[in-house]
């Protein structure tokens, strides 16, 4: 187990000159020993590149990787003593399930009785004890992926276990089960786990700390509630949450806030100039038009999501979504309502970054 | 039980008629001609006698035939034993991508483009002690070498020639098999700390099984029918050290015009190849099946 420090950039092209040449823009970050992390972002944002750099499958084009302060930039995965589970199941066709699980230990010359014991434990953990003597080749995709997971977890002394979207091929009901299992394993073994995913639910339920990435850039590292309450970047606001944060074009001027043709008082000190106001649909309140400091709007859509209603309101030429509980009065289509957009949960962004 | 019954439509037979006619002319009719020859003694175009299985019996007792068959078996086995591992080794050593990969592929495939009789001629000259590169070099090294004089050397030269000519085919097939292995397998193996040998044994070899099966079948069939190269190089000699089945057959049919025995022997030859391919194919299939079935009893 170790603390991982990254201070690097990576480009798959030989001479990167602009930002878009980089798969990973220059970044500096640390993964604490024993933490459960998630790398979250859309496809092609650099999550897997970052993971492969940590595991040693890829050498970064610039900068360094340190494990516990030791520079391992050019060390092989074996020297780093790292485990990694891939998106699609990788199994050794000619081996049985038990041989598959034992393979990483056997290659490291672990004594046979220890291997047997450890394989037994892992199989127990993954509910595969009854399948140990079967050929791995004929199993279903999710069984195979369980073997891959098991191979990742079978070594007790690894620096970290890296997961590259490991549950993509798994059935939804099993997904929950395995994710809980991983969380449980994390608590029991105190391994450093780093989990790549593009599924926010997966990231937020699994990790203590989530790294949100987009276009090769880390835009926020924080606990799940911080990502929700105070997104550091408009991308985080938009990407996390279902639906994402409402973002409104506003302008701060001489202590007042101009939204379209409305002028509202500034709730707290703001930098002057064009800003974006962010408010989560969960915090956007519909109020009577008569209320002070509200923004008038027209309801254009009402969706019943089952446990809540999603109301779309057009205000100041922009469209906002509000999430309303079943108990509140739901306005009809086309009715005029007031929107309370200023509150403790409102965030302000300048050049996509959080400023207030 | 299904409530619907299949409609009976005999017109469907017309649809396979073209294929049937093609196969009849390309395979069945020629084969039947051979069968026809094999049961008759044709003395002249007007006079022929039905002899039943006499030719078959005669051919089975023929000592020369036994020698040729034995020679052939040894040769085909040697071809497989040398060419398959060598082809795999070559494929493993070939670069995976970039211009080097393309260049290597072209160079490796070169020998496959050379016509059989030219291959024989190339080696005929290559092995000559006076002007051939190999023959002369061997002589300078003090090794007495003559593919026309020494039976063992002749046999080895024919084998070497076949290895030179056809190992690239095995290499190309194995290369294709190797390239189809997803990168994740190699990455996982690196993570699991697998040695190069383990990667070969547990990833590359199992994933190549399909193409290797094709390589074994192709090389077996081709080498079992080898004719042109030894004919050009040694003419079957010295003695009959390099007389393989097809050449023996040609001597019988064309050289001595013994059409009856030659036809009987052709049929036996055909059945031998069929039998070997059937056995090999089923054996390799069952290897793959065993893997799947072992897991099937969930």
ipTM for the complex? 0.77
pLDDT at B165: 92
List, for residues A126-184, the tens digit of each pLDDT value.
Answer: 888 888 888 888 888 888 888 998 898 888 888 888 998 888 878 888 888 888 888 88
| Model confidence at B298: pLDDT above 50 | no
> Which residue in chain A is spatially nearest to B199 when comparing CA positions?
A92
Facing residue for A77 by CB, picked from B190, B206, B296 = B190
Q: Quick check: A199 and A176 in contact, CB under 8 A?
A: no
Sheet holding A70-71, edge to edge: A24-31, A4-10, A62-67, A70-71
Size (chain A), residues: 356
- When scoring A53, A78, A90 by the number of chain B Cβ atoms within 10 A, the one with the most, hence best to mutate, is A90
pTM of the model: 0.75
pLDDT at B297: 40
Average pLDDT over residues B254-258: 77
The kind and range of the H/E element at B108 are helix B99-109
- The whole-angstrom separation of Cα A249 and Cα B229 is 82
Together in a domain, B95 and B206 = yes
Facing residue for A137 by CB, picked from B182, B193, B295 = B295
Together in a domain, B182 and B47 = no
Facing residue for A94 by CB, picked from B184, B188, B206 = B206
Together in a domain, B54 and B77 = no
Is B202 part of the contact surface with chain A (CB cutoff 8 Å)?
A: yes
Burial class of residue B138 (count of CB atoms within 10 Å of its CB; 0-12, 13-18, 19+) = middle
Residue B297 lies in a domain: no
Smallest Cα–Cα separation from A281: which of A322, A313, A249? A322
pLDDT at B289: 66
> Which residue in chain A is spatially nearest to B205 when comparing CA positions?
A94
Is A107 part of the contact surface with chain B (CB cutoff 8 Å)?
A: yes
Facing residue for B291 by CB, picked from A90, A103, A137 = A137
Extract the tokens encoding B1: 């039980």
Q: Find where tokens 């030989």 sit.
A: A14
The alpha carbon dihedral of A32, A38, A44, A48 has a sign of positive
List, for residues B199-220, the tens digit of each pLDDT value.
Answer: 999 999 988 988 888 898 889 8
Q: Where are the domains of chain A?
A: 4-235, 243-354
Q: Which CATH superfamily is domain A243-354 in?
A: Nucleic acid-binding proteins (2.40.50.140)
Residue B17 lies in a domain: no
Q: What is the DSSP pairing of strand A262-265 with strand A285-287?
A: unpaired
- Cβ-based contacts of B294 with chain A (< 8 Å): 96, 134-135, 137-138
Is B182 part of the contact surface with chain A (CB cutoff 8 Å)?
A: yes
Name the band, by pLDDT with cuts 50, 70 and 90, for residue B4.
low
Q: What percent of chain A has pLDDT over 70?
A: 100
Together in a domain, B140 and B272 = no
What's A4-235's CATH class? alpha beta
Q: Do A107 and B193 count as a contact with CB atoms less than 8 A apart?
A: yes
| Model confidence at B291: pLDDT above 60 | no
pLDDT at A305: 86
List, for residues A193-225, the tens digit of each pLDDT value.
Answer: 899 988 888 888 888 899 999 888 888 998 988
Residue B129 lies in a domain: yes
Is B195 part of the contact surface with chain A (CB cutoff 8 Å)?
A: yes
Together in a domain, B283 and B147 = no
- Cβ-based contacts of A87 with chain B (< 8 Å): 184
Q: What is the b/e burial string over A94-110, where b = at least 16 CB atoms within 10 angstroms of the residue's CB?
A: bbbbbbbbbbbbbeeeb
Q: Quick check: A204 and A211 in contact, CB under 8 A?
A: no
- Cβ-based contacts of A160 with chain B (< 8 Å): none
Q: Quick check: A252 and A270 in contact, CB under 8 A?
A: yes
Residue B3 lies in a domain: no
Name the band, by pLDDT with cuts 50, 70 and 90, for residue B290.
low
Average pLDDT over residues A30-47: 88
pLDDT at B1: 47
* Mean confidence (pLDDT) of chain A: 87
- Cβ-based contacts of A103 with chain B (< 8 Å): 192, 194, 202
Number of domains in chain B: 2
- The whole-angstrom separation of Cα A195 and Cα A264 is 43
- When scoring A86, A95, A143 by the number of chain B Cβ atoms within 10 A, the one with the most, hence best to mutate, is A86
Q: Do B206 and A92 count as a contact with CB atoms less than 8 A apart?
A: yes
CATH number reported for the structural domain that contains residue B125 in this entry: 1.10.3720.10
- Cβ-based contacts of A144 with chain B (< 8 Å): none
Together in a domain, B245 and B219 = yes
Domain that holds residue B273: 31-61+259-291
Beta strands in chain B (DSSP E): 40-42, 48-50
Is A79 part of the contact surface with chain B (CB cutoff 8 Å)?
A: no
- Name the range with the highest mean pLDDT among B121-130, B155-164, B238-247: B155-164
Together in a domain, B127 and B45 = no
> Which residue in chain A is spatially nearest to B182 when comparing CA positions?
A90
Q: What is the DSSP pairing of strand A246-253 with strand A273-279?
A: antiparallel
Together in a domain, B205 and B227 = yes
- Cβ-based contacts of A115 with chain B (< 8 Å): none
Distance to chain A for B170, nearest Cα, Å? 23
Full DSSP string of A71-106 = E-TT--HHHHTEEEE-SS----TTSBHHHHHHHHHH
Name the band, by pLDDT with cuts 50, 70 and 90, for residue A1.
low
List, for residues B78-122, the tens digit of each pLDDT value.
Answer: 999 999 999 999 999 998 888 999 999 999 999 899 888 888 888
């Amino acid at each position: 187990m170790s603390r991982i420090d990254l201070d690097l950039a990576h480009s798959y092209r030989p001479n990167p000159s602009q930002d878009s040449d980089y798969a990973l823009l220059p970044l500096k970050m640390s993964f604490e020993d024993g933490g459960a992390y998630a790398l979250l972002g859309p496809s092609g944002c650099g999550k897997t590149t970052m993971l492969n750099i940590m595991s040693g499958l890829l050498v970064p084009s610039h900068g360094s990787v340190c494990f516990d302060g030791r520079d391992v930039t050019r060390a092989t995965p074996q020297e780093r003593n790292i485990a990694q589970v891939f998106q699609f199941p990788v199994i050794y066709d000619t081996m049985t399930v038990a041989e598959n699980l034992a393979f990483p230990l056997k290659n490291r010359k672990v004594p046979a009785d220890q291997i047997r014991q450890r394989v037994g434990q892992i199989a127990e953990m993954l509910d595969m004890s009854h399948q140990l003597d079967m050929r791995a080749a004929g199993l279903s995709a999710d069984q195979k992926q369980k073997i891959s997971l098991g191979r990742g977890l079978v070594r007790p002394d690894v620096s970290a276990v890296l997961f590259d979207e490991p549950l993509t091929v798994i059935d939804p009901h099993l997904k929950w089960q395995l994710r809980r299992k991983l969380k449980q394993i994390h608590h029991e073994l105190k391994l450093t786990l780093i989990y790549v995913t593009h599924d926010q639910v997966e990231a937020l339920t699994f990790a203590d700390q989530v790294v949100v990435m987009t276009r090769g850039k880390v835009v926020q590292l924080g606990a799940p509630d911080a990502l929700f309450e105070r997104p550091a970047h408009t991308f985080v606001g938009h990407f996390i949450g279902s639906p994402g944060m409402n973002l409104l074009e506003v302008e701060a001027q001489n202590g007042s806030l101009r939204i379209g043709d409305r002028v509202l008082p500034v709730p707290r000190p703001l930098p002057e100039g064009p800003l974006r106001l962010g408010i989560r649909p969960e915090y956007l309140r519909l109020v009577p038009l008569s209320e002070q400091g509200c923004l008038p709007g027209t309801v254009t859509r009402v969706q019943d999501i089952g446990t809540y209603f999603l109301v779309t309101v057009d205000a100041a030429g922009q469209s906002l979504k509000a999430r309303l509980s079943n108990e509140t009065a739901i306005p009809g289509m086309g009715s005029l309502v007031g929107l309370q957009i200023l509150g403790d949960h409102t965030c302000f962004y300048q050049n996509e970054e959080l400023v207030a | 039980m299904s409530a619907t019954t299949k409609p009976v439509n005999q017109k469907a037979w017309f649809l396979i008629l073209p294929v049937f006619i093609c196969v009849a002319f390309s395979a069945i009719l020629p084969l039947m001609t051979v069968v026809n020859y094999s049961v008759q003694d044709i003395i002249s175009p007007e006079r022929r006698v039905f002899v039943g299985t006499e030719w078959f019996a005669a051919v089975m007792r023929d000592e020369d035939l036994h020698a040729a068959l034995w020679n052939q078996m040894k040769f085909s086995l040697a071809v497989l034993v040398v060419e398959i591992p060598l082809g795999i080794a070559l494929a493993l050593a070939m670069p995976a991508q970039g211009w080097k990969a393309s260049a290597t592929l072209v160079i490796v495939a070169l020998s496959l483009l050379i016509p059989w009789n030219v291959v024989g001629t190339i080696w005929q000259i290559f092995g000559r002690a006076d002007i051939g590169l190999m023959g002369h070099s061997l002589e300078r090294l003090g090794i007495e070498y003559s593919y026309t004089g020494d039976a063992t050397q002749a046999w080895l030269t024919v084998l070497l020639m076949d290895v030179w000519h056809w190992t690239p085919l095995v290499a190309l097939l194995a290369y294709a098999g190797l390239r189809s292995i997803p990168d994740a397998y190699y990455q996982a193996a690196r993570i699991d700390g697998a040695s190069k040998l383990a990667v070969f044994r547990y990833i590359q070899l199992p994933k190549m099984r399909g193409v290797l099966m094709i390589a074994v079948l192709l090389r077996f069939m081709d080498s079992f029918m080898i004719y042109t190269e030894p004919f050009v190089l040694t003419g079957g000699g010295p003695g009959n050290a390099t007389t393989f089945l097809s050449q023996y057959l040609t001597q019988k049919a064309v050289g001595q015009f013994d059409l009856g025995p030659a036809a009987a022997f052709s049929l036996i030859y055909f059945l031998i190849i069929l039998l070997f391919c059937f056995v090999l194919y089923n054996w390799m299939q069952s290897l793959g099946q065993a893997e799947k079935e072992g897991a099937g009893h969930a």
